[in-house]
Amino acid sequence: MFSTFLLSEIKYSLKQPMIYIFLALMALFVFGATASDTVQIGGSVGNVYRNAPYVITMYTSIMTLFGLMIAAAFFNNAALKDHNNNFSEILYSTPISKSGYFFGRFFAALFLSTLPMLGIFVGTFIGSYLAPIFGWVDADRFGTYYLATFVNNYLLFILPNIFFAGAIIYALAQKWKSTTISFVGSLVIIIGYIVSGTLLSDMDNETIASLADTFGIRAYAAATKYYTPIEKNTLSPMFTGLLLYNRIILEKIK
């Protein structure tokens, strides 16, 4: 029953244009940051490669925060589609598994919500390829790509951050049966994170502030605070240190 709802939701959504529009928007934004100095995500790149593992990770961690609005669309649709089409009462009268229904829809929305975030990597690839060709950025400002950079970013930032926020949004949508409340919930998460960032930045203990960061942005910044340009250009985010502990704490919260 779980796989039935999971696969049906994924198949239906992959046929809709929304997921590809969101992916294109993510790719376009990161393309601009990679190929020019006009667009910046998290500040100036500095003297490291524009496609360095450090830069890609900062882009990924920050963009997952704004990706919550994208996630809200998928989780809200998964939670309320049957209700909005007046099909929920008919569905609930059939001998279906409650856990299979709810979890199948939830994990389908989770998978679908992470796909547009892959636009971050697509935008980086396209930007680093086209920028030297058109003379926007010198070719020597780009370095080597590492597979671990993309895999680890997906597992350390995209998947857990969307899971954390998606669980809240999905629960709100199921409880209140309201699209407005689920989208307001995503806005509250973003605003709450920004406000908490101000409070945590005033803490004397940087370690505690990093561990309390639910999206891992400050944890990664603290872990790489003393990285040399060479380390930023070559070291992918790893499952070690403050970042690992931060991700474990997030799992406990969920």
Query: Region 180-200: what's the mean pLDDT?
Result: 84
pLDDT of residue 252: 65
How does pLDDT run across 135-160, given as a tens digit for each residue?
A: 999 999 999 999 999 999 999 999 99
Looking up tokens 């931060």 gives 246
For 104, other C-beta atoms within 10 Å of its C-beta total: 23
Decide if pLDDT at 43 tops 90.
Answer: no
Q: Tokens at residue 226, please?
A: 């003393």
The band of 210, judged by pLDDT with boundaries at 50, 70 and 90, is confident
The band of 168, judged by pLDDT with boundaries at 50, 70 and 90, is very high
Query: Region 112-137: what's the mean pLDDT?
Result: 96
Average pLDDT, the chain: 89
pLDDT of residue 171: 92
pLDDT of residue 204: 65
CA distances (Å), origin 246, targets 29, 105, 223, 241: 27, 27, 11, 9
Number of domains the chain contains: 1
The band of 213, judged by pLDDT with boundaries at 50, 70 and 90, is confident
How does pLDDT run across 83-116, given as a tens digit for each residue?
A: 676 666 666 667 788 888 899 999 999 999 999 9
Indicate the length of the chain as a whole number.
Answer: 254
Query: Region 108-129: what's the mean pLDDT?
Result: 97
pLDDT of residue 46: 85
CA distances (Å), origin 82, targets 45, 110, 184: 46, 18, 21
Q: Tokens at residue 70, please?
A: 């994208």
> Is 187 strand, coil or helix?
helix
> Is 42 strand, coil or helix?
coil
pLDDT of residue 253: 65
Residue 223 domain boundaries? 2-253
